[in-house]
Structure 1
């Protein structure tokens, strides 16, 4: 028996490859099929099944393309309805894989169709469970993403039953393999590891402690923040189907010269998306382009900020064009016109107008505070980050709200805006959004709040009303 976790850090997503006697199964694959096909080929195995734990909301799964490429059936649990062919498994159904077997455990709660897959070894002993978004390390899946006509409390009640009846009776030695690790928005506060054991989770996971149904529902539903705006879009795509990934890549990798970029961006209302590193972007970029750098949680921020109906033109570092398109496709973007051939340098060398963002160090910001009467300090971190410590009189405008034009309309013409986030990535995105709306009197504070709080002359305060 062979098990491999294929973890993608930028999405905090885990797919799984399981193999026995030359037969393989893949659980919750990402949209690109190449890693799974390559692994099976290297190990001289045949992919026999593609299992899905539920309709994922945070990424577009590769189940359809992988099923077509291998001929393997796509297996979902009970209560699943799709627009493409699947094997809808029954609770308790067993799938043979070489000398091991995989048992279906229907565990509604995160979603109605949520299902775990229990792997039994050659002796028939429970060895590992693949829990999708039902159970994480230190947490459980949020019950407010795909409820049909049910409330979050009703789904949380269903999750309570799923955990009590399907998960807690398992032996402590069973390995736990969830679909997500730390940083995922599919739970409230996932632990630092990407795998665990049932025994360890019984000891440390708040959701598996002895408690009444009412206490469990309160614990799971309290403190839920709004999910990223692209979650329902991705869940719908996973339910209804999508274009083959090779067709999406073909469109995204169409080379465009600067003149074509200029024309197409005007005629189609396309968004020019710059994926280069933030420091490089600030030194010069195509006016009106939006920055979301590959070095951060790129796909999540793209899904949270960019409209899915508008076409995209990519500006990337040389050799990073395909990575940019692929990572966007993972969260459902498929309206591509192409990429700027030769990158930003081609645009600049063609004599076109360029823009830039002024970057200042935290000590320079500290020196400006007493003298700039028009200073507006804009903190684009999340509300809880801001509450836990921020520059006195700073305005909190979380980055995920900045596509709302009403938010930026509050900036006065004579304001000198000093932008920062935690370390610098989000504030450069914010600067690009503001410049796109014609707000140019901006300074980005290098190193963000991490650098700011080291300056003794800058007063830091907390918001205890939010923290409590």
Structure 2
């Protein structure tokens, strides 16, 4: 019996393929199911079961389509109201896959009806637990995604769910969470790529703290999460449409300019430094990296038409794959190649890229503003004296709060700042992107 990880680093999540004797089960598949199908083909196994730990808040499931396509049994918690056929399971139920089986454990906290699946081998020994958003590696799932009015109740429930897993499972049982590898579904940063129940006894706050301490600290540590999460539960309960990973329709420079002038979302996927060096005025810079889909999804006007620009076709296709994972399907056009060719002779615009050493030498310049686009809790922990804090996810609604004149924009590493620089760029501002680690600000005596 093998457990294969299917990693989705852009969202900080994992899906799993459990296989043995020619059959397999999939846990928490993402929407681009071709990855699952290709993996099953490589291993020469037939997928007979698809299991969901919960109705996901951070991505669109591929479970509905995968089960339909393969005529596999689709397993979803019975308490979740959904619009498609499934096997509704509850605590204690067993899913028999032949050479192995899963036992259902109700582990509420991340959601009300969340379940975990305990994997038993052919000798009926528990060898792993697929814990979804309950027990993560060194942390737990956040508990505020189904409404603030449920947060305290669910946080207490999460404590008891993790305690139950630890009480009922042996020390050597492997822990396979869905979240916790960078996902905002995690209550706090997770630790490590693998873990066991024994390790969690020493590191998980639900197991090292008393109940009230755990509850108080988890709730105090909850910060903003991506706005697109509001749409994921609805899509997943209704049943997502089949995925489309095809190349979006090509558009020519004249049509690009029309879309930009009309205020449509035209997104440049090139590196932040390439964008700064020269881009089409009015485009938005979202470097295609592991953070791309989270922040584009967070800022994007839900349902609006979206056009993608890139150096090459592969980047367009990769961005589309990332976007369908969060249900952004209205990609209405694409263009790739040298940016000056896309501009069709029109002048490009750009701005300076600097670091904190540069800022230290120029910070006293008259009219210079430092714009910090980190989240409020990051700013409160440490910031540059006199900086204006507008978190990136609030920026589009607060553009009038950004001063005119020379604006140096920074974040924790440069990625969020690069998006912000493209959003605040205007004839009234001279934008400077600080593409640097915030730790370096302290080295130049900039931190208050």
Same-fold call, TM > 0.5? yes
CA contact (8 A) 2:267 2:306 kept: yes
**Residue deviations 1:397-441 (CA, integer Å, cap 9, x gap):** 22121121xx2212344x321111222211110011112x66532
Question: Residues of 1 paired with 2:391 and 2:33: CA distance?
Answer: 35
Structure 1 window deviating more from structure 2 (183-192 vs 94-103): it is 183-192
Question: Residues of 2 paired with 1:118 and 1:82: CA distance?
Answer: 23
Q: 1:360 to 1:34 in 2, by over 3 A?
A: same
Uncovered stretches (5+) of structure 1, i.e. residues with no partner: 462-468
CA contact (8 A) 1:136 1:190 kept: no
CA contact (8 A) 1:181 1:193 kept: no
Question: Residues of 2 paired with 1:114 and 1:86: CA distance?
Answer: 15
CA contact (8 A) 1:133 1:179 kept: yes
Q: 1:262 to 1:39 in 2, by over 3 A?
A: same
Question: TM-score of the superposition, structure 1-length normalised?
Answer: 0.90
Spell out structure 1 runs of 4+ moving beyond 6 A. Answer: none
CA contact (8 A) 1:53 1:76 kept: yes
Question: Residues of 1 paired with 2:429 and 2:231: CA distance?
Answer: 33
Question: Residues of 2 paired with 1:201 and 1:448: CA distance?
Answer: 31
Structure 1 window deviating more from structure 2 (359-368 vs 193-202): it is 359-368
Question: Residues of 1 paired with 2:267 and 2:27: CA distance?
Answer: 32
SS in 2 for 1:220: helix
Question: Residues of 2 paired with 1:439 and 1:24: CA distance?
Answer: 59
Structure 1 window deviating more from structure 2 (90-99 vs 203-212): it is 203-212
Question: Residues of 1 paired with 2:438 and 2:111: CA distance?
Answer: 37
Q: 1:260 to 1:210 in 2, by over 3 A?
A: closer
User: Aligned pair count?
Assistant: 447
Q: Shift in Å at residue 284 of structure 1?
A: 1.1
CA contact (8 A) 1:178 1:194 kept: no
Q: Shift in Å at residue 79 of structure 1?
A: 0.4
Question: Residues of 2 paired with 1:378 and 1:36: CA distance?
Answer: 43
Whether 1:408 aligns to 2:407 is no
Question: Residues of 1 paired with 2:261 and 2:357: CA distance?
Answer: 41
Aligned to 2:253: 258
Question: TM-score of the superposition, structure 2-length normalised?
Answer: 0.94
Uncovered stretches (5+) of structure 2, i.e. residues with no partner: none
CA contact (8 A) 1:377 1:395 kept: yes
Question: Residues of 2 paired with 1:439 and 1:311: CA distance?
Answer: 28
Aligned to 2:409: 419
Aligned to 1:233: 231
CA contact (8 A) 1:207 1:220 kept: no
Structure 1 window deviating more from structure 2 (381-390 vs 75-84): it is 381-390
Q: Shift in Å at residue 198 of structure 1?
A: 0.8
* Residues 306-321 of structure 1: pairs in structure 2 closer than 5 A: 306-318=300-312, 319-321=314-316
Q: Shift in Å at residue 386 of structure 1?
A: 2.4
SS in 1 for 2:3: strand
Aligned to 1:67: 67
Question: Residues of 2 paired with 1:431 and 1:122: CA distance?
Answer: 57
Q: Shift in Å at residue 29 of structure 1?
A: 1.0
SS in 1 for 2:396: coil
CA contact (8 A) 2:372 2:387 kept: yes
Aligned to 1:466: none
Aligned to 2:375: 382
CA contact (8 A) 1:256 1:341 kept: no
Aligned to 2:78: 78
Aligned to 2:446: 459
Question: Residues of 1 paired with 2:80 and 2:25: CA distance?
Answer: 20
Among 322, 326, 330, the residue aligned to 1:335: 330
Whether 1:396 aligns to 2:389 is yes
Whether 1:294 aligns to 2:292 is no
Whether 1:429 aligns to 2:395 is no
Q: CA RMSD in A?
A: 2.0
Aligned to 1:138: 138
Question: Residues of 2 paired with 1:220 and 1:362: CA distance?
Answer: 33
**Residue deviations 1:189-223 (CA, integer Å, cap 9, x gap):** 232213211111112211023634x4443233222
